[in-house]
């Protein structure tokens, strides 16, 4: 059995710090074999940088997925081709930097990861995810039957449709983008684990990871304001999926929603 942890959208420095601290702990204490995170909001709440990518990988993350904010940091486009473990949505047109799929060797066999973006209420509007997934899943299954899909999309209906469309062909489909964890986790009849949205790794007292008051004022006055990342306690949200590595069928899926407890750090030595 392969135990896979997926963590939803990382929000800014608070979410980043929590994920980097807790991934090594959870891998050791909970027997996690493979970790995937969505990092598209990890740089100040918008996009991801090369430095953050490296920090997450060094912490024990195997693959980083993204979504509609993937290009928000200007230095990412020139970096993404150098790091295949950082994915952008697979349904971008041909010629766009980076890739949307990867297969990695692990002690429990090969694991494939696919990052796809929905089209309903999403910008930019990319190629049809169903057509693209049909093709890339068939190709990936020539290498491995253990396949995880991050479906980065706005509507529940589109994410559920992707999960049902892929049932029996991939191990898991978990949605991202809304930053709000849903409670519909299950294993479909064909053996595909599903969760409509993993939620976020970000400040608990917030609106989708952002400071509360500016967003309320925007709704009240309809005037443009900045939405800084909130502070305070962080909740880590995602899912743990157990997969039969010989068949690729999911055995179980369990939601994760845990408040981050910063580890005690040693006090600095007194200066002579």
pTM of the model: 0.95
Domains and CATH numbers, the chain: 2-259 (3.60.21.10)
Between CA 123 and CA 39 the distance in angstroms is: 18
DSSP E strands in the chain: the ranges are 2-7, 9-10, 34-38, 63-65, 101-106, 109-117, 147-152, 172-176, 186-187, 193-195, 200-203, 234-243, 250-259
Q: What is the pLDDT of residues 163-200, one digit of tens each?
A: 999 999 999 999 999 999 999 999 999 999 999 999 99
Between 3 and 271, name the one with better pLDDT.
3
pLDDT band at 148 (very low <50, low <70, confident <90, very high): very high
| DSSP class of 244 | -
Q: What is the 3-state secondary structure (H, E, C) of 35-59?
A: EEEECCCCCCCCCCCHHHHHHHHHC
Q: What is the pLDDT of residues 96-141, one digit of tens each?
A: 999 999 999 999 999 999 999 999 999 999 999 999 999 999 999 9
Above 70 in pLDDT, residue 269? Answer: no
Tokens (6 digits) for 83: 């790091």
Q: Which residues contact 121 (CB under 8 A, 6 or more apart)?
A: 154, 155
Above 60 in pLDDT, residue 267? Answer: no
**Residue with the two structure tokens 């709440």:** 45
Q: What is the pLDDT of residues 19-31, one digit of tens each?
A: 999 999 999 999 9
Element (H, E) at 164: helix 156-166
Above 90 in pLDDT, residue 258? Answer: yes
pLDDT band at 270 (very low <50, low <70, confident <90, very high): low
Mean pLDDT (the chain) is 96
| DSSP class of 272 | -
Sheet harboring 172-176: ordered strands across? 101-106, 109-117, 147-152, 172-176, 193-195, 186-187
Q: What is the pLDDT of residues 22-74, one digit of tens each?
A: 999 999 999 999 999 999 999 999 999 999 999 999 999 999 999 999 999 99
Between CA 81 and CA 84 the distance in angstroms is: 7
End-to-end CA distance of the chain: 53
Alpha-carbon Rg of the chain, whole angstroms?
Answer: 18
**Residue with the two structure tokens 């910063």:** 262
The verdict on whether 177 is a catalytic residue reads no
Residue 126 has a pLDDT of 97
Q: What is the pLDDT of residues 205-219, one digit of tens each?
A: 999 999 999 999 999
Choose the catalytic residue: 69, 152, 177, 179.
69
């Amino acid at each position: 059995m392969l135990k896979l942890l997926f963590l939803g959208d990382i929000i800014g420095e608070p979410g980043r710090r929590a994920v980097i601290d807790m991934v090594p702990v959870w891998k050791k204490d909970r027997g996690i074999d493979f970790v995937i995170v969505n990092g598209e909001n990890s740089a100040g709440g918008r996009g991801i940088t090369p430095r953050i990518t490296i920090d997450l990988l060094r912490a024990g993350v195997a693959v980083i997925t993204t979504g509609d904010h993937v290009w928000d940091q200007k230095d990412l486009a020139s970096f993404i081709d150098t790091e295949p473990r950082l994915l952008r949505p697979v349904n971008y047109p041909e010629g766009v930097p980076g890739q949307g799929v990867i297969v990695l060797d692990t002690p429990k066999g090969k694991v494939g990861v696919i990052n796809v973006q929905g089209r309903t209420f999403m910008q930019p509007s990319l190629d049809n995810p169903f057509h693209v997934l049909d093709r890339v899943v068939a190709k990936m299954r020539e290498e491995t039957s253990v396949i995880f899909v991050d479906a980065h999309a706005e509507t529940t209906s589109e994410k559920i449709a992707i999960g049902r469309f892929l049932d029996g062909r991939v191990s898991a489909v978990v949605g991202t983008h809304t930053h709000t964890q849903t409670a519909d986790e299950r294993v479909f009849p064909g053996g595909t684990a599903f969760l409509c949205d993993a939620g976020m790794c970000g400040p608990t007292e917030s609106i989708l990871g952002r400071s509360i008051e500016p967003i309320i004022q925007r709704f009240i006055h309809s005037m443009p304001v900045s939405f800084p990342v909130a502070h305070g306690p962080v909740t880590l949200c995602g899912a743990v999926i157990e997969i039969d590595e010989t068949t690729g069928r999911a055995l179980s899926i369990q939601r994760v929603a845990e408040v981050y407890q910063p580890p005690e750090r040693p006090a600095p030595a007194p200066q002579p």
